[in-house]
Structure formats: structure tokens, C-alpha cells
């Protein structure tokens, strides 16, 4: 019997805590495959699961070397900044029909991991069985942000009789500040969507029924080997 399968794209954007930035890891069940969807009682069905998990990694930054012109009031100048974000796959696990699978890939942050799980199930009794595939995965992520900022105040200290500023604009010296923010987290996400295969198990014929079938097949075989009546009448 032809193999039956489910091929489904399952995108899982994880929700993470407010303290951690939103990340872009994605998981896909590429194929959930069965050797057959109909089997006699006591028969075995082989299953094949193919999946991929893609994590994210990006970094960047910049600088603003041009000092801004003086302006009255408070001024801030973002001089340099840098960010680094990464996710590393820690574990992928699946379960179906009382069987389980787990793998802890050794892949770099930002890599895509492709894996496979095969398992077999014996169906002892007739009936319809729904084989539900459930899986989850964990990533370990981090986010760093560094910035160099300058701030100052500028004001006019001379005014005419009408309150209009005269003279030049005076400014404080630039005050420099440095920010370093580092966060890390672990997250779980689950596979969802069309991940079910239904197997129909039919009964094995009773011994008496099997004997009748065998006798009938034997008679048909014997009858096929006998000459036709017309052939027997020929001299």
C-alpha cells in the first residue's frame, strides 16, 4: 500500500517575557509519514518524522562623529552604539503513541538544524487509532546593547530690557555616560498544527473463515486445471 504522509509548514513564533527582546526562531515539521494507514491486527506500522529548527543571530551598531550645533536647553548626543543578538538551539523532543525522542544538537547560534525521528508501532486490536505527534524545543538566547552618550545644557545669560536674549549661547562641557545592557533567557515553544495520522486496523479472519477461504481457493485452482467438457468429447 502506498505510503501516507502529512507535509505541513508549521511556524512557531515564540512569545517571550517582556524583559527579553522578541526573537525570530522558527520550527517546522516538514513531514510526518506512515508506511501504511491500514493494517491487520497485530501488524506493524513504521513512522517517519522530519523537522527543522532555525535560530537567529545578528549584530550591528554605528557612530555619529559629528558634534551637534549648540541649541538652547538640554542636549543629548548618541555618539556610538552596538547591539548583538543570538539564539542557540538547546533541545528538541517529540512524543507519539507512548514513545519519545530527544536530541540536543551542537549547532552554533543562528544555525538551522534538520533532524529525523523514526519509530514503529504494533497495533494488536482492530479499530481506528489517531497517532498524534507532539513536540517542543528550547532555545537559549542573549541580547547585549552598548552605547556612549554625551549630554549638556546650553543657555543665554544676557537679555535686553524686553527679555530678548543677546550675546552668545553658553554651554556646559559634554558629560559622557556609558550604558551596557546584557540579558539572557531560556524559552520553550511547541509544535502545533496538522500533526495527526489515523491508522485503521482490521480484524484477522477467524480460523473457520480462513479454512473456508482456503478450501474455496483450492477448489478454484483444481477446477482451473481440468479440461473443458468440449475438449473431453473430442475423439
91-114: pLDDT as tens digits: 999 999 999 999 999 999 999 999
52-78: pLDDT as tens digits: 999 999 999 999 999 999 999 999 999
C-alpha cell at 170: 553658553
Q: What's the pLDDT at 160?
A: 73
Q: What is the mean pLDDT of the chain?
A: 82
Question: Do 60 and 83 contact (CB within 8 A), yes or no?
Answer: yes
Which band of pLDDT confidence, cut at 50, 70 and 90, is reported for residue 218? low
Q: Is the pLDDT of residue 14 over 50?
A: no
b/e burial code for range 77-108 (CB count within 10 A of at least 16 → b): eebebebebbbbbbebbbebbeeebebeeeee
Question: 224 versus 2: which is more confidently predicted?
Answer: 224
Overall average pLDDT of the 34-44 stretch:
97
b/e burial code for range 182-219 (CB count within 10 A of at least 16 → b): eeebebebebeeebebebebeeeeeeeeeeeeeeeeee
Q: What's the pLDDT at 210?
A: 54
Q: What's the pLDDT at 163?
A: 65
Which band of pLDDT confidence, cut at 50, 70 and 90, is reported for residue 186? confident
Name the percent of the chain lying above pLDDT 90: 60
Sequence spans of domains, the chain: 4-233
Question: 7 versus 73: which is more confidently predicted?
Answer: 73
Alpha helices in 61-185 (DSSP H): none
Q: Is the pLDDT of residue 7 over 50?
A: no
Amino acid at each position: 500500500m502506498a505510503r501516507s504522509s502529512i507535509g505541513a509548514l508549521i511556524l512557531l513564533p515564540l512569545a517571550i517575557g517582556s524583559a527579553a527582546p522578541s526573537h525570530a526562531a522558527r520550527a517546522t515539521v516538514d513531514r510526518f509519514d506512515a508506511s501504511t494507514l491500514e493494517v491487520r491486527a497485530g501488524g506493524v506500522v513504521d513512522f517517519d518524522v522530519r523537522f527543522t529548527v532555525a535560530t537567529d543571530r545578528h549584530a550591528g551598531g554605528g557612530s555619529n562623529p559629528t558634534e551637534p550645533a549648540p541649541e538652547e536647553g538640554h542636549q543629548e548626543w548618541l555618539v556610538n552604539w552596538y547591539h548583538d543578538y543570538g539564539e542557540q538551539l538547546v533541545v528538541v523532543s517529540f512524543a507519539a503513541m507512548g514513545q519519545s525522542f530527544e536530541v540536543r544538537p551542537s549547532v552554533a547560534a543562528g544555525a538551522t538544524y534538520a533532524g529525523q525521528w523514526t519509530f514503529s508501532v504494533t497495533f494488536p486490536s482492530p479499530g481506528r487509532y489517531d497517532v498524534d505527534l507532539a513536540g517542543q524545543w528550547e532555545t537559549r538566547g542573549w541580547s547585549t546593547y552598548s552605547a556612549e552618550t554625551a549630554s549638556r545644557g546650553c543657555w543665554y545669560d544676557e537679555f535686553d530690557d524686553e527679555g530678548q536674549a543677546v550675546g552668545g549661547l553658553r554651554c556646559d562641557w559634554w558629560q559622557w555616560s556609558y550604558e551596557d545592557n546584557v540579558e539572557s533567557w531560556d524559552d520553550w515553544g511547541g509544535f502545533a498544527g496538522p500533526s495527526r495520522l489515523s491508522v485503521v486496523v482490521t480484524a484477522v479472519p477467524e480460523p473457520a473463515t480462513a479454512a473456508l477461504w482456503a478450501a474455496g481457493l483450492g477448489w478454484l485452482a483444481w477446477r482451473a486445471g481440468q479440461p473443458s467438457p468440449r475438449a473431453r468429447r473430442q475423439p
